Structure 1
Amino acid sequence: MSEVSFYFDFSSPYGYLAAERMDEFEIRTGVTVIWRPFMIGAAFKKTGQSPLLEQPVRGPYFRHDMERCARLQNTPFAIPENFPYAALVPTRAYYWLASTSPTLARKFAKDIYRGYFADGLDMSDPENVFAAASRHSVDVGEMRTAVESRTWKDHVRTVTEDAIKMGAFGSPFFFYEGEPFFGNDRIDQLAQWISLRKSTASSQFDEDTI
């Protein structure tokens, strides 16, 4: 089965909105979405960007657009007080969980996002991250150890570096067969591209078997 790599940062509003669409997207396209949180701050340093809401002139527009997009897709949303934040703890925790259960890690990721953007929880506080994990019968003690371990610190650094090398400069960012798509508003276009590629591949297969 073909795959889409879904790169996102846990402090990204558009990443949150995209995450809420991924289940339906998988069903619609028949592809597997691989969730890959990364540290968008490192990408910003490379590109010279700043957080959207801090940008002159553009900031008010993007705040309005985030709220509008959330309403249009019927997703609870509010900009948190401590926005943005460096999501190191939830990102390390995600990969620790994913190493044994990608399905559980995905549920955890949704809880982190919803806790931050829907419930107003301060996810820069590790205790709120661990509380989200505990709802899934995760051993919080093991998670505390994992997020401070060199293994998962290095893993997040490597994923982030690889994402930037591939060309990911924001969140959400998608790759399908090397083709890049940036933004929650490109999800439908990505679905169309997948359909086109599958159709082309099918036609080529038919020609080769004649």
Structure 2
Amino acid sequence: MTLSYDLYWSFRSPYSYLVTPRLVALERDHDVMAVVRPVYPIAVRQPDFFANNDPLWVTYFLRDIGRSAEFVGLPFRWASPDPVRMDVATRTYPKEQPYIHRLTHLGVAAAERGRGLAFLDAVSRLIWSGAVTDWHLGDHLARAAERAGLDLAEMDAAIAADPEHHIAVVEANQDAQRAGGHYGVPLMVFEGEPFFGQDRFDQLKWRMEQRGLEKR
């Protein structure tokens, strides 16, 4: 029997990037399927979230993300540009967010076409690996979509034709995420049990093995 889990994931989250290759390998090698459920990042959902954090949160995060990338063997550089636009002068997040809304809605479209996990993997590598600057320009996104077996122009057209649908899916995902037990990403929910963070991958797989996870 094929096992499945819900994957709540954000294009602004480097930790989401770090876990995705392991999720791809898990699905490649075992009879399991990710139900990809893209969400907007906290900076968009709760624009004052980071302003209210202790300053140590940021300094630890910046140290930890580089260390975590090194530990799992993935290249990493902070995205250029950041998928979420910030007003540097006020350190606030404007309502208009051209990058993250497009990316998240493309994630929804990819999932609906049965290529969600492949799209997350290809695009997060584009944004976070440091191999590309200005990932939003030229044909970078189109080529990433192609590597995932998708047509970027077709998905963009579908989103433009029905933006309300894609927004509604993201909002439903966010409600389901909280019902699943956490508000952060990456969040994997398997049989009602939440596993938050890229460092919970081994526990997720361990639990799946207890439930009869089989190799392909």
Would the TM-score normalized by the shorter structure come out above 0.5?
yes
1:95 corresponds in structure 2 to 108
Supply the distance in 1 between the matched residues of 2:147 and 2:28 (Cα, whole angstroms): 26
Supply the distance in 1 between the matched residues of 2:210 and 2:146 (Cα, whole angstroms): 42
Q: What secondary structure does 1:70 align onto?
A: helix
Q: What secondary structure does 1:20 align onto?
A: helix
1:55–1:88 CA distance, 2 compared to 1 (3 A): farther
Deviation at 1:116, TM superposition (A): 0.8
1:50 corresponds in structure 2 to 50
- Higher helix content, 1 or 2: 1
* Amino acid in structure 2 at the alignment position of 1:65: D
Q: What secondary structure does 2:154 align onto?
A: helix
Q: Deviations over 1:154-181 (max 9, x none)?
A: 2222222222233331110011100111
Q: What secondary structure does 1:18 align onto?
A: helix
**Preserved CA contact (<8 Å) 1:174 1:180:** yes
TM-score normalised by structure 2 residue count: 0.74
* Amino acid in structure 1 at the alignment position of 2:202: D
Matched, 1:160 2:145: no
1:36 corresponds in structure 2 to 37
Deviation at 1:137, TM superposition (A): 6.9
Matched, 1:75 2:89: no
Supply the distance in 2 between the matched residues of 1:72 and 1:89 (Cα, whole angstroms): 31
2:195 corresponds in structure 1 to 181
2:118 corresponds in structure 1 to 107
1:58–1:74 CA distance, 2 compared to 1 (3 A): same
1:207 corresponds in structure 2 to none
CA RMSD of aligned residues (A): 3.1
Among the aligned pairs, what percent are the same residue?
A: 26
Deviation at 1:128, TM superposition (A): 4.9
Segment drifting more, 164-173 vs 183-192: 164-173
Q: What secondary structure does 2:79 align onto?
A: coil
Segment drifting more, 16-25 vs 116-125: 116-125
| Residue segments in structure 2 that go unaligned for 5+ positions in a row | 85-96
1:208 corresponds in structure 2 to none
Of 117, 124, 133, which aligns to 2:145?
A: 133
Deviation at 1:189, TM superposition (A): 1.3
Supply the distance in 2 between the matched residues of 1:158 and 1:72 (Cα, whole angstroms): 34
* Amino acid in structure 1 at the alignment position of 2:179: K
Q: What secondary structure does 1:75 align onto?
A: coil
| Residue segments in structure 1 that go unaligned for 5+ positions in a row | 200-210
Segment drifting more, 9-18 vs 184-193: 184-193
Q: What secondary structure does 1:77 align onto?
A: coil
**Preserved CA contact (<8 Å) 1:82 1:122:** yes
Supply the distance in 2 between the matched residues of 1:131 and 1:28 (Cα, whole angstroms): 25
**Preserved CA contact (<8 Å) 1:44 1:169:** no
Structure possessing the higher radius of gyration over alpha carbons: 1
**Preserved CA contact (<8 Å) 2:3 2:32:** yes
* Amino acid in structure 1 at the alignment position of 2:75: P
1:59 corresponds in structure 2 to 58
Deviation at 1:29, TM superposition (A): 5.7
1:135–1:195 CA distance, 2 compared to 1 (3 A): closer
Supply the distance in 2 between the matched residues of 1:197 and 1:135 (Cα, whole angstroms): 32
TM-score normalised by structure 1 residue count: 0.76
Count of residue pairs brought into register by the alignment: 194
* Amino acid in structure 1 at the alignment position of 2:195: F
Matched, 1:142 2:154: yes
